[in-house]
Structure 1
Amino acid sequence: MSAVGAGRSGRAWRTLAADFRKVCEESNAPCWMCGQSIHYEAGPDEPDAFNVDHFYPVSTHPELGNDPANLRPSHRACNIARGNGDAPLGLGELSEDW
């Protein structure tokens, strides 16, 4: 398969994205960037709607466009805000309130 368009178009992508969404929705997976709940019933243009995010952006890693291990559940707004930038750093939970 050609890397051109991988991860954003074509039958393979549509099938992969639909299967990924189903798994995420069944487990009620939160947004991997902000950790908040995703509104799986929201329309596709709503900020808190489900969106498939590529951990390694397709623009810089086209060979990973259709790799299921490169996919992450996200909010539409979080995915748009990130663009093709670096993945957010997970700093973890505070051990106590300071």
Structure 2
Amino acid sequence: MHQRCNTRGGQDMGFDSRAAKKLKAMFKQQCRDAGAVCWLCGQPINYDAPPNSRDSFEPDHFYPQATHPELAEDPENLRPSHCSCNRSRKDGVPAPSLGSLSEQW
């Protein structure tokens, strides 16, 4: 069973326009085809998980829609993420990663 992400009034948060929904679907397919991982946590995304489940795909806006509404439907501003990672980040900056390994152990 999939755990659900937070929603507003039971509805998915995010894109609302027809063009934005089309962009989201195209971006999801591109990410699925590339095997893209979540840019926030680096873990694989379950592209088949139901919408709003914690490990499902959700496009994240590198520059938040709240501060950069003009970039809301710009494909260059999108990053692949888990629903839970995207919604935990909200409009903040991503948490820093641990960096790369100095050696292969």
TM-score range normalised by the length of the shorter chain = 0.7 to 0.9
TM-score, normalised via structure 2 length: 0.80
Matched residue, 1:61: 68
- 2:35 aligned to which of 25, 28, 32: 28
- The whole-number CA distance in structure 2 between the counterparts of 1:36 and 1:91 is 14
The normalised TM-score by structure 1 is 0.85
Q: 2:24 aligns with which of 17, 27, 50?
A: 17
Q: Identity percentage over the alignment? A: 51
Amino acid aligned to 2:45:
I
2:76 aligned partner, one-letter code: A
- CA drift at 1:87: 2.8
Structure 1 runs (4+) greater than 6 angstroms displaced:
none
Structure 1 position 28, deviation (Å): 1.1
Equivalenced residues, count? 91
What is the letter of the counterpart of residue 34 of structure 2? S
Cα deviation code 1:71-95 (max 9, x no counterpart): 0000001001101111333442121
Describe the SS at the equivalent of 1:14.
helix
Which structure 2 segments of 5+ residues have no match? 1-13
Deviations 1:42-95 (CA, angstroms, capped at 9, x unpaired)? 111211100010000000000110110000000001001101111333442121
Match for 1:57: what amino acid?
P
Does the alignment pair 1:50 with 2:50?
no
| 1:12 aligned partner, one-letter code | A
